[in-house]
Amino acid sequence: MGLIPDGNRRWAREHGLAPTEGHRHGAVVMENCLKWCLENEIEEVSVYSLSIENLMKRPQDELREIFRVLAHYFNKLSTDDLVHKYEIKVRVLGRIYKLPDFVVKAANNVMRSTRPYQRHVLNLLVAYGAQDELLRCAQALSRSRIGRVTRKILERSLWVSRPVDLIIRTGGDHRLSNFLLYQSAYAEIFFVDKYWPDFTRDDFEACLEAFERSQRRMGG
């Protein structure tokens, strides 16, 4: 499953709050959503936490708050009972070297503390863009001694190797916005016309039910 939790800033604006409050409320909803995924036995979830474009274009004061929220969330996951009970491997993926040191440290801590786990995977895409991911793969493979690049070799080089079957995007925009372009080739995409802080369990269950009803022809 892929999640594009869009609309935190607009939610805050409509409630007369600073953008930082939208990001904080969004983090709480993300914690709840992780529980819903576990209850529905979803093995791998990829979350679009911060795009590379966001990193370059957002105001610095807002980015500082986003960094604080991310570091807090990573540190919380490191010791979270649910994470360790369900053996969730947490992976922070993207150009994380572009982030402040305290965020990188928190990211490394949660990845180190959950590295042995195999039952579930939570991919947090930070400073990420799908085109950037594919470019990184092409550059790495061109430097390697591999004579013939196959799909399997390419997929092993991606940050997220497994295909995504379901993507949920909130916020009202109907596009992928450079999210897992290769992995979502045959994904069912559900757009929810409400902001992420307003996303509920009922919304989540409705997407799952619609996915179960869909006929996945995979190009056939």
| Nearest CA-CA partner of 55 in 2, 11, 104, 100 | 100
Give the bridge partners for 51, in sequence order: 128
User: Is 6 part of the annotated catalytic residue set?
Assistant: yes
| Nearest CA-CA partner of 88 in 54, 48, 122, 111 | 122
User: Is 61 part of the annotated catalytic residue set?
Assistant: no
Residue 130 exposed, middle or buried by CB count within 10 Å (0-12, 13-18, 19+): buried
Residue 119 CB partners (closer than 8 Å, separation 6+): 43, 86, 87, 88
Give the bridge partners for 93, in sequence order: 125
| Nearest CA-CA partner of 30 in 67, 74, 68 | 74
Candidate list 6, 8, 123, 165, residue with the active-site label: 6
Q: Which residue pairs from 203-210 have beta carbons closer than 8 angstroms and sit at least 24 positions apart in sequence?
A: 204/33, 204/36, 204/168, 205/36, 207/166, 207/168, 208/40, 208/166
Phi, psi dihedrals of residue 40, rounded to the nearest 5° = -100, 15
Candidate list 8, 32, 40, 54, residue with the active-site label: 54
Question: H/E element holding 73?
Answer: helix 60-79
Catalytic site positions: 6, 54
